[in-house]
Amino acid sequence: MRVALRELRRRPGRFGVATGVLTLITTLLVFLGGLLDGLFLGSTGAIRAQDADVLVYSAFSRDSFLRSRIGPELRQEVERVPGVEETGGLGLALVAARVPGEEEPADAAVAGYQLAPEGVPPTPPPGEAWADRRLEADGVRVGQTLLMGPAEVPIRVRGWVEDTSYLLQGTLWVAPETWRRVQSLSRPDAAVAPGVFQVLAVRGEGDPADLARAIEAGTGGRTSALTLDEAVFSLPGTAQQNRVFTGIIGATLLVAVLVVGLFFVLLTLERTGLYGVLKAIGASSRQLFAGVVAQAVVVTAVAVALGTALAVLLALAVPPEVPLQLEPARAGITALGMLAAALVGSIVSLRRVVRIDPATAIGSAT
Partner 1 sequence: MSAALDLEDVRKVYRAGEGEVVALSHATLQVGEDEIVALLGPSGSGKTTLLSIAGGLLAATAGRVLVGGRDISGATPGELTRFRREQVGFVFQAVNLVPFLTARENLLVVDEIGGRRKGPESRARADRLLEELGLAHRAGNLPGQLSGGERQRVAIGRALMNEPRLVLVDEPTSALDTRTGTQVMELIRTEVKGRGTAAVIVTHDTRMTRWADRTLHIDDGVLSAVPAAGPEGGDAEA
| Residue in 185, 248, 283, 344 binding partner 1, rule: CB under 8 A | 283
Q: Is 273 in the site for partner 1 (CB under 8 A)?
A: yes
Q: Which of 134, 158, 279, 352 binds partner 1 (CB under 8 A)?
A: 279
CB neighbour list of residue 323: distance below 8 Å, 6 or more residues apart: 35, 38, 39, 42, 168
Q: How many binding residues for partner 1 (CB under 8 A)?
A: 26
The minimum distance between CB 292 and partner 1, in angstroms, equals 15
With CB under 8 A as the contact rule, the residue among 11, 80, 213, 243 that binds partner 1 is 11
Q: Is 2 in the site for partner 1 (CB under 8 A)?
A: yes
Task: State which residue, 239 or 359, has the beta carbon closest to partner 1.
Answer: 359
Please pick, from the candidates 110, 274, 341, 348, the single residue that binds partner 1 as defined by CB under 8 A.
274
Which member of 13, 281, 317, 329 binds partner 1 (CB under 8 A)?
281
What residue spans of 70-207 are helical by DSSP H? Answer: 72-80, 176-186
Q: Which CA distances in Å does 97 have to 109, 110, 148, 189, 250? A: 9, 10, 5, 20, 39
Identify any residues that bridge with 215 across adjacent strands, giving them in sequence order: none
Measured from the CB atom, the residue of 117 and 276 that comes closer to partner 1 is 276
Q: Which one, 62 or 286, has the nearer CB to partner 1? A: 286
Q: Closer to partner 1 at the Cβ: 329 or 365?
A: 365
Of the residues 24, 248, 280, 306, which one makes contact with partner 1 according to CB under 8 A: 280
Q: Which is nearer to partner 1, 184 or 287 (CB)?
A: 287
Q: How far is the CB of 353 from partner 1 (least distance, A)?
A: 13
Residue 153 CB neighbours (<10 A) = 23
* CB 166, CB 238: distance < 8 Å: no
Residue whose C-alpha is closest to residue 88's, from 216, 199, 229: 199
In this chain, which of 101, 282, 319, 328 binds partner 1, going by CB under 8 A?
A: 282
Sites for partner 1 among residues 127-156 (CB under 8 A): none
Residue 90: which of 52, 39, 131, 42 has the closest Cα? 52
Q: Tell me if 278 contacts partner 1 by CB under 8 A.
A: yes
Distance of CA 175 to the CA centre of its chain: 29
Q: Work out which of 24, 314, 315, 361 binds partner 1, going by CB under 8 A.
A: 361
Q: Which stretch binds partner 1 (CB under 8 A): 2-10, 41-49, 310-318, 339-347?
A: 2-10
Cβ proximity to partner 1: between 109 and 267 the closer is: 267
Q: Is residue 363 a contact point for partner 1 (CB under 8 A)? A: yes
Backbone angles phi, psi at 84, to 5 degrees: -75, 125
The three-point CA angle 305-33-332 to 5° equals 45
Is 277 a binding residue for partner 1 by CB under 8 A? The answer is yes
* Rounded Cα–Cα distance for residues 183 and 175 (Å): 12
What residues between 226 and 265 interact with partner 1 by CB under 8 A? none
Region of 39-47, 261-269, 270-278, 340-348 interacting with partner 1 (CB under 8 A): 270-278
Q: Where are the alpha helices (DSSP H) in the chain?
A: 2-10, 16-48, 72-80, 176-186, 208-218, 228-233, 238-270, 272-280, 285-316, 328-355, 360-363
CA distances from 201 to 130, 205, 292 (A): 19, 13, 55
Nearer to partner 1, 2 or 101 (CB): 2
The yes or no reply on residue 13 touching partner 1 (CB under 8 A) is: no
Task: Work out whether 10 is an interface residue with partner 1 (CB under 8 A).
Answer: yes
Phi, psi of 114 (to 5 degrees): -115, -45
Binding of residue 5 to partner 1 (CB under 8 A): no
Alpha helices in 128-202 (DSSP H): 176-186
Q: 284-343: which residues touch partner 1 (CB under 8 A)? A: 284, 287
CA distance 343 to 351: 14
- Convert 16-53 to b/e letters by CB count within 10 Å (16 or more is b): eebbebbbebbbbbbbbbbbbbbbbbbbbbbbbbbebb
**Chain contacts with partner 1 (rule: CB under 8 A):** 1-3, 6-7, 10-11, 273-274, 277-284, 287, 358-359, 361-366
